[in-house]
Structure 1
């Protein structure tokens, strides 16, 4: 198995842990990502730090040393299409989508999995790429939400799954595993609500589709069964990070236990250096709420800026600037600070024994750019189950 745009290898390692795949090759242009990966997993896997345009299918095959490449994974950065970016049509990073599908054609794996920002699902570039590989691959694509698969974060991403025509299998989306009946904090309504199809979009922070009517969103409702109460309860922020507080005297949640190492984590868990004036303004924001005008010096910000998390709610998307409370809903639900690198890593589904190295700013960027490892594990098990007969051959 190989992964390009690998970052810290969260997808590849998720497939390795959950489905038993062996990682043969990784690529990314970010040297700090490679150093972090190797600090955690060693240097046995070939990890090339170069532009993906210089990577060929032959490069990947040679790294596998004659073994077949079962799957190709990739999360090409397409900031030019992101709702959080400038959406510049001429952003050169948009072309990286084509490099991923070029490698699919050259490697010809049994399957491929690609992840990207939600708006990519509606792009003509993706439609053209899928049409070009249609003779050889059967594909499915759609926008899914991490919270529906056991993450305490409403991260929305386009997922593309392709199976080689020779497998005879049509890919399907992984079914949601989490919904439940327990009430959660709704940030839009600022109150506790019971999960249902009526409030699901609001709970999951469903984003509007670019260029579409405001009422049209990237919704998870079509993927849920009518009786979502039978699913596991959605995982909350409190369940994910409460045990990291120094005065915590309760029992860690099953989610926290799943990620916890042998010792209580101290690495990557240091408060950011907020100034006294900022801390004073943070104290004005109630749990789970948007800031009052006096907390923002009477300035108007978009809805998530300077907002506080709720221990009984879901985190919004962890970005590469979560240290800055003005960049999103990143205020700790109780403490007057932004979430730490370790807390963000918990919300992203990283195990506590995964260490982010070097400068805190680089750590923050790698955490925010990563695909949630636990979500990758869900996808890996789904792909393995659908291709069980093919992969066992």
Structure 2
């Protein structure tokens, strides 16, 4: 059976790529500006290599801290892996360097797919609301043209462009219309849908635009995705993890309960008897006091805490009209609200739903909400890990997209 390859642009920590790999695609190159995310990508690519060689114990030794990263990469990485993770900003003179790197990796082979989504801050509603110019002058508005340069050079059969809902309304919709027209001018038919991550088994309310393009003249059609009938709750991704105190660092810990139906069905637990990066950030006394109020209000009344409702002694500013819902508890009896990269700054928007564990969620809990499997290791420490997770495409969502695309390519 033919093996299809792909290039992942604006790769982040590799959530989109992970889904395509799980669906049987082979990554040729990842291009990402963030150094720590690139380290995460390389670690994961070595994982897949060792998995194909039935040598995963070497990987487990690394993520459990038994061997150093230097020794791990020295012994188990390969030049084709390290060279395939390209740590450059896309655009300008960098593109020539990136193209040269990809050409060496391709060795004359055709590129089957290009996937990826440029940074979303310029399109997001939150980003526009915080910028005095509504992000009109942000160069990231036009990164789709950089994406298109890769389409023009490599002419893949199909491309996948993922982004936030705000793309549709940015500058009254003109960015999105211009983007579609631009892709069509360079030889692609395309269509898009708005997808809900929970339809793919992700325990999170996340809406994303999935734009897919294909070469004009081909018989490709926009895929129909199989929907998972949602019957799971976030409690099923928290119940087997050790209870944490604020600031507790469990880089490696044992599971404390049996697995759940959800973790088994979607393969988030991978068969080993330990989990990594179950790490909680520290909090000051004021934040913990607010968290207690927010948790009680949510668990007893299913109501969100608003800033004006706080006791005066816990308020730090007089503005009671902006960002009043910054303290939000994760819904243990339903789906989590959308995971975003701001979780790297503070945990106020992702409070753990238990009065006996007053804290924000851990790195591993955030990863599970995004549907990353437990053996997915994020490099760079707690803050870098949170940022990578918040920016990612949920792998379960990516896998179904990849699966349906592959059916038409075979």
On whether the aligned pair clears a TM of 0.5, the verdict is: yes
- Is 1:28 the counterpart of 2:32? The answer is yes
Q: Is the 8 A contact 2:347 2:361 kept in 1?
A: no
Q: Is the 8 A contact 2:141 2:175 kept in 1?
A: no
Q: Which whole-Å deviations, capped at 9, do the CAs of 1:327-385 have from their partners, x for residues lacking one?
A: x2x11111211111100000001110111122211111111111111111011011112
Q: Which residue of 1 aligns with 2:179?
A: 129
Instruction: For structure 2, list consecutive stretches of 5 or more residues without a partner in the other structure.
Output: 1-5, 47-76, 245-254
Q: Which residue of 2 aligns with 1:185?
A: none
Q: Which whole-Å deviations, capped at 9, do the CAs of 1:67-94 have from their partners, x for residues lacking one?
A: 2211000110131221121341111222
- Is 1:333 the counterpart of 2:330? The answer is no
Q: Which whole-Å deviations, capped at 9, do the CAs of 1:96-128 have from their partners, x for residues lacking one?
A: 121112211221101000111112134322322
Q: Which residue of 2 aligns with 1:198?
A: none
Say if 1:49 and 1:325 are closer, same or farther in 2 by CA, change over 3 A.
closer
- Is 1:39 the counterpart of 2:43? The answer is yes
1:62, 1:104 → 2: CA distance? 18
Higher gyration radius (CA)? 2
Q: Is the 8 A contact 1:4 1:28 kept in 2?
A: yes
Secondary structure of the residue that 1:72 maps to in structure 2? strand
Q: Is the 8 A contact 1:2 1:25 kept in 2?
A: yes
Q: Which residue of 1 aligns with 2:135?
A: 88
1:336, 1:309 → 2: CA distance? 12
Residues 184-203 of structure 1 correspond to what in structure 2 (within 5 A)? none
Residues 270-309 of structure 1 correspond to what in structure 2 (within 5 A)? 270-285=279-294, 286=296, 287=299, 288-291=302-305, 293-294=309-310, 297=314, 299=320, 302=323, 304-309=325-330
- Structure holding more helix per residue: 2
1:272, 1:301 → 2: CA distance? 25
Secondary structure of the residue that 1:134 maps to in structure 2? helix
1:25, 1:338 → 2: CA distance? 35
1:93, 1:133 → 2: CA distance? 17
Match of 2:239 among 232, 239, 242: 242
Length-normalised TM-score, structure 2: 0.75
How far residue 29 of structure 1 moved from its aligned partner, in angstroms, is 0.9
Say if 1:337 and 1:265 are closer, same or farther in 2 by CA, change over 3 A.
farther
Length-normalised TM-score, structure 1: 0.78
- Is 1:354 the counterpart of 2:366? The answer is no
Q: Which whole-Å deviations, capped at 9, do the CAs of 1:189-213 have from their partners, x for residues lacking one?
A: xxxxxxxxxxxxxxxxxxxxxxxxx
Q: Which residue of 2 aligns with 1:75?
A: 117
Q: Is the 8 A contact 2:241 2:257 kept in 1?
A: no
Secondary structure of the residue that 2:240 maps to in structure 1? helix
Q: Which residue of 1 aligns with 2:63?
A: none
More contact order relative to length (CA 8 Å, sep ≥ 6): 2
1:129, 1:59 → 2: CA distance? 27
2:43, 2:283 → 1: CA distance? 29
How far residue 163 of structure 1 moved from its aligned partner, in angstroms, is 1.5
